[in-house]
A and B are shown apart, each in its own frame.
Chain A
């Protein structure tokens, strides 16, 4: 039906700037800060100030739903517990570890001689013990998805990276193509799935070139190009493209599990070498950075060091007139103090001078926001319901379905913060209901 077709939108990627220089490893920051927060769960610290720490040692536990351990990313000594800026936009407590630069590994980290015998349960247990969580931005504990009761036909690797500016997934994949296939292979075994699909954006021909020759070694894995639109990386969209099915809650309903490509690559190391989730790739980019590029870093590395390695901010950047964005430009968050630390869900930091101020009229009522919404909401109506604090109407208008993709504000000719209004309406609904 013409009125209910999710079209998505082509958005200028601006990815080139961070693709130009190769992936840079920065493995030994002086300090790392392990935040005591994962998703919205506060973590229980298991080490004290003064403790000696090895790489891969458990330093905190997530409890309750998605319980799993969190590991140290460098070796050294716990020197303090202090508050740091986290990409959620809040200050959170973190374990400060001073690096001894000796890279002492915990005993648990050792290569497996034989990986063929692991059962489904053992693989899922490995995910849990490795503290593996989605690196695409949501940070959802991976093992929880694999514990599903539904039967899974297909594991889908999301290498689409549809947010503009971001290249972290692409750069990692580019460096270690085979690792991705290994990770997917283990994921498929962990889900008892016969089929694995790697989804990537159509312009990344390079991915196909590097993966295709390796495919015959891995049974059941295929490649799939996805159109260059935003939000093509949205789980529902990808599942729909691959399986032709839609679902309400979790992809498992459609017989699918979706994982980010970087997560799969970490899982390859988890299975083969018992290295838990302790590092990731982050894109440092934006018009306000001298030399944008990607860094492979231990979790907890201060972003400031990476920006210095990138030549700092461009000359003449007026901080008060620039954004420091944690995450992608469409869904990320403005951080006020440039004192962020790298955590599992932080895929990028973008520094971007603000556009010139223009005078904008009231909402025209043009309806472009409703047109573009991938879940067929009418943001203007949700705003109206929010402004009259009409919780019932907000519910009827299905505001809770909004995935905060940001397209409505993106397209609005009148610069209305319409995404934000929908977000506030959702909050009201949560509180009111």
Chain B
């Protein structure tokens, strides 16, 4: 008689295979980030260097900045483990622990959505808020409610925007020289002028192709729409992210923006395309709205989550007067992840009955009508709502 090991069914696991499991997911995620990082480096470093506007070291700076973000958040998390957990005081244990808690990711993403001339200490502050406050104090990887990178971003937006502008802000050395930009990003222009006019919104930055290729001003990595689309295809193909979440999010913004355009007498498709390609929408949709821990687990929940994100983003952009609605929307929706997940899981498990279907359609219809109505009344509603949005308004 021999004694055998205990175990639980199933005795076959994908994660047991050498080339599977979370390690592979993270590797694929990093590969997905690569084109975006490379683009950010090209746009803010290499190209500016070739223009002859910066020195060689300054050319390397964007890359260094992003990697530094990853390094800093890893260090913070390592330090946190070292202090709080007696079992992980050796380098080896610490390394293993950091690997399975993906310490590097929040920092990397944070650096990518910050302006190029963010001082390093501001980056550190953001990474601290993201990793320590947003992640570790919630109980570490898997328990955090808010997307750590975004939380860091919001914290920086809250308090440090002036500091960042003083340090040089969004514009790289080539971009400040272009007069037509007038020192604003496309969405900033929209927020200021409230005019849906091709000549004001798009023309100063060239054509919409520039929006696609990413040669417009914006945060470090968020403008590279094409690079982000490539990343999206890769991540969806590798099943790292669910393919429909970003698609639904972007499509909702597209449709609502189009309606807004039509309502103000501008039916051209350029406006929804402009809305989708400017600001951090694509970046947020692909890398933040799909972040597994802080978004719903079940597919129906993801659909609902993405729909709400789209509506919220549009609301924030056109009513909340936030040039950048993406970050705020995602942070707000993170709060609702658990209830959405629970409700949609119940609906999914019990089958979609007619009544639930009707209420859902009715409910979302109401929401959209409300949104459109509000948007049509932009000026008045905006002033009416402003008292309720002081905090959010401050954020960006």
- Give the docked Cα–Cα distance between A420 and B7 (Å): 11
Is B349 touching A376 in the complex (CB atoms < 8 A)? yes
- By secondary structure, the B interface counts as loop
Is A338 touching B142 in the complex (CB atoms < 8 A)? no
- Give the docked Cα–Cα distance between A331 and B100 (Å): 28
B242 within 8 A of A: yes
Closest CB of chain B to A410's CB: distance in Å?
A: 5
- Give the docked Cα–Cα distance between A384 and B339 (Å): 12
Chain B residue at minimal CB-CB distance from A334: B7
B121 within 8 A of A: no
What are the residues of chain A within 8 A of B242 when measuring CB–CB?
Answer: 367, 371
- Give the docked Cα–Cα distance between A417 and B8 (Å): 8
A322 in contact with B4 given A1-B352, A381-B342, A381-B345 (CB within 8 Å): yes
- Give the docked Cα–Cα distance between A396 and B16 (Å): 33
**Contacting A334 at CB < 8 Å: which of B8, B295, B346, B350?**
B8
A380 in contact with B7 given A4-B351, A358-B15 (CB within 8 Å): no
- Give the docked Cα–Cα distance between A3 and B298 (Å): 9
Q: How many residues of B contact A (CB 8 A)?
A: 54
- Give the docked Cα–Cα distance between A335 and B8 (Å): 10
Closest CB of chain B to A415's CB: distance in Å?
A: 4
B9 within 8 A of A: yes
Between B7, B242, B294, B349, the greatest number of chain A beta carbons within 10 A of the residue's beta carbon is seen for: B349
- Give the docked Cα–Cα distance between A367 and B256 (Å): 28
What are the residues of chain A within 8 A of B57 when measuring CB–CB?
Answer: none
Is B11 touching A332 in the complex (CB atoms < 8 A)? yes
**Contacting A332 at CB < 8 Å: which of B9, B22, B24?**
B9
B206 within 8 A of A: no
Is A398 touching B350 in the complex (CB atoms < 8 A)? yes
What are the residues of chain A within 8 A of B335 when measuring CB–CB?
Answer: none
Is A364 touching B11 in the complex (CB atoms < 8 A)? no
Chain A residue at minimal CB-CB distance from B302: A367
**Contacting A337 at CB < 8 Å: which of B4, B24, B303?**
B4
Is B4 touching A413 in the complex (CB atoms < 8 A)? no
B355 within 8 A of A: no
For chain A residues 351-386, which have a beta carbon within 8 Å of chain B? 351-352, 354-356, 358-371, 375-378, 380-381, 384
As a 0/1 sequence over residues 52 to 66 of chain B, the CB contacts with chain A under 8 angstroms (1 = contact) are 000000000000000
A323 in contact with B4 given A355-B16, A397-B349, A398-B350 (CB within 8 Å): yes
Is B15 touching A334 in the complex (CB atoms < 8 A)? no
- Give the docked Cα–Cα distance between A331 and B5 (Å): 17
Q: How many residues of A contact B (CB 8 A)?
A: 68
**Contacting B16 at CB < 8 Å: which of A332, A358, A368?**
A358
B162 within 8 A of A: no
Is B5 touching A323 in the complex (CB atoms < 8 A)? yes
Is B25 touching A359 in the complex (CB atoms < 8 A)? no
A331 in contact with B9 given A4-B352, A364-B293, A411-B14 (CB within 8 Å): yes
Closest CB of chain B to A15's CB: distance in Å?
A: 13
For chain B residues 1-27, which have a beta carbon within 8 Å of chain A? 1-16, 20-22, 24-25
Is B298 touching A367 in the complex (CB atoms < 8 A)? yes
Closest CB of chain B to A345's CB: distance in Å?
A: 15
Chain B residue at minimal CB-CB distance from A409: B10
Is B348 touching A376 in the complex (CB atoms < 8 A)? yes
Closest CB of chain A to B59's CB: distance in Å?
A: 36
- Give the docked Cα–Cα distance between A228 and B296 (Å): 31
Closest CB of chain B to A347's CB: distance in Å?
A: 14
Is A319 touching B96 in the complex (CB atoms < 8 A)? no
Is A330 touching B16 in the complex (CB atoms < 8 A)? no
Closest CB of chain A to B28's CB: distance in Å?
A: 11
**Contacting A365 at CB < 8 Å: which of B6, B142, B342?**
B142
Which residues of A does B touch, CB under 8 Å? 1, 3-4, 11, 164, 319-325, 329-339, 350-352, 354-356, 358-371, 375-378, 380-381, 384, 393, 396-398, 401, 404, 406-407, 409-415, 417, 419-420
Task: Across the A-B interface, give the 8 residue pairs with the lowest CB-CB distance, nearest first.
Answer: A362-B142, A406-B10, A378-B345, A398-B349, A361-B100, A355-B16, A367-B297, A370-B298
Can you give 20 A-B contacts (C-beta < 8 A)?
A3-B299, A4-B352, A319-B2, A324-B4, A331-B10, A334-B6, A336-B3, A362-B143, A364-B22, A364-B25, A364-B293, A367-B299, A371-B242, A375-B349, A380-B298, A407-B10, A412-B14, A415-B16, A419-B8, A419-B9
Which residues of B does A touch, CB under 8 Å? 1-16, 20-22, 24-25, 96, 99-102, 140-143, 239, 242, 292-303, 341-342, 344-346, 348-352
